[in-house]
A and B are shown apart, each in its own frame.
Chain A
Amino acid sequence: MAELINLVLLAMLALTALRIIFLKDLFAVIMLFGIFSFLSALIFINLDAVDVAFTEASVGAGISTVLMLGTLALTGRKEKANSHSSFLPLVVVCITGAALIYGTLDMPDFGDPDNPVHQHVAPRYIEESPKEVGLPNMVTSVLASYRGFDTLGEVVVVFAALIAVLSLLSIRKETEQDASESGLKSHHVLHVVAKLVIPLIILFALYVQFHGDFGPGGGFQAGVIAAAALILYALVFGLPNAFAVIGAKFLYCMASAGVLLYASVGLFSMYKGGNFLDYNKIAAEPLAGQHYGIIIIELGVGITVFAVMLSIFYAFSSQTARSNIK
């Protein structure tokens, strides 16, 4: 059954990708890309990667699509006819593809429990992590503890993206008159519904944040979902109103604070005599230490991701608003 679903979903995914190549309407391309992300997330679920699916759905289909649409609003919808030859790219692609196909010939069978991947390193995560780290969600254990440094790097990447976007697009506060102009002002139903839905979303974000140790989710997903709530607010009620809720300056501080919060856990464990990010040393009991450590770093991740995603949206959105007013 799972195989069948897998087959069908993969086929749909491939079709979507191929369709994207030939579409000239960029709006449709982006819509299809949203579907592409959704579909791939479905496949991730089907392949047991629930955390990944969670992230892909919220990031790929959510944030990326919103940002792409924001860009498209500024750059125009139609792709112009491609004048230069597509022969060389095709050759390059074929060569790369051939190399990959060649590589697959020796690949271990799909889903075979005897594959080398499942023999080394991973068994310890599966067998020991509930005891060593004390969390039922192994992905969170590995993410936050065993490979906590990767996750620190990931948070820094997000932070770096903020720096990059800010250096390119400056967020400008609009004046009061503009406030009435922007937003979906004519959609009254939407206004009511949004007011109803946004608290629910934030509630859900908090749930994801603190339930991530036990089920799918965690700081990153929670941050994105919380940011999505405010993005919704900004979309419906206009950017100036969103600024009134959370200002850009405050977001910058949050973004930095999240990274520093994460790192401070590491520094604290250094102070306690352990290595960087060694949660065992944080509290008297190693398990308790792990628990505190993971909660705090997940919080750090959540704060940074929320702040960064929202700031990036602000940056794009304030460009759109300005161009529209011009």
Chain B
Amino acid sequence: MLFLDVISSILLISGVFFGLSGAIGIFKFPDFFTRIHAASITDSIATILIVGGLLLQTSFDLNTVKLIFILVFLMITSPTASHALAKSARHGGLLTMAEAKEKKQEKTG
């Protein structure tokens, strides 16, 4: 039991670490497309780690099923949402930092 606790603690703490780093990322990164990358970190790896850590705490009952459900669901939907968002942003005419620079140079040049 203790062994499981230790492993789940490690998973949880590292999940939290990724979560925090991603959070810092969405503030520090320079443009939308880089920020969405940072956000995706928290959405994927942090989720896996934290839910995984919690999974080890359950006694393999309905809760486990639910956690797995959450995990699967998040794993499917988060990247989809990020993808769709990025696509939508592209469609809406938002430019990456590099493109913006190019465009600026074109204008000035």
Which of B69, B80, B87, B91 interacts with A193 by CB under 8 Å? B80
Contact (Cβ within 8 A) B77 A193: yes
- Looking at chain B's contact residues, the main secondary structure is helix
Contact (Cβ within 8 A) B76 A197: yes
Q: Which residues of the partner chain B approach A184 to less than 8 Å between Cβ atoms?
A: 84
Contact (Cβ within 8 A) A189 B69: no
Which of A186, A189, A204 interacts with B80 by CB under 8 Å? A189
Which of B69, B76, B84 interacts with A187 by CB under 8 Å? B84
Contact (Cβ within 8 A) B77 A197: yes
Which of B73, B83, B84, B87 interacts with A200 by CB under 8 Å? B73
Give min CB distance, A273 to chain B, whole Å.
40
A residues 156-189 in Cβ contact with B at 8 Å? 184, 186-187, 189
Tally inter-chain residue pairs, CB-CB below 8 A: 20
Q: Which residues of the partner chain A approach B80 to less than 8 Å between Cβ atoms?
A: 189-190, 193
Q: Which residues of the partner chain A approach B87 to less than 8 Å between Cβ atoms?
A: 186-187
A187 to B90, CA, bound (A): 12
Indicate if A325 sits at the interface (CB-CB under 8 A). no
Give min CB distance, B78 to chain A, whole Å.
10
B residues 17-76 in Cβ contact with A at 8 Å? 69, 73, 76
Contact (Cβ within 8 A) A196 B76: yes
A197 to B80, CA, bound (A): 11
List 8 other contacts, CB 8 Å, given A184-B84, A189-B83.
Answer: A186-B91, A189-B80, A189-B84, A190-B80, A190-B84, A193-B80, A196-B76, A200-B73
The 7 tightest CB contacts between A and B, nearest first, are: A193-B80, A187-B84, A190-B84, A189-B83, A189-B80, A193-B76, A190-B80
Using a CB–CB distance below 8 Å, which chain B residues touch chain A? 69, 73, 76-77, 80, 83-84, 87, 91
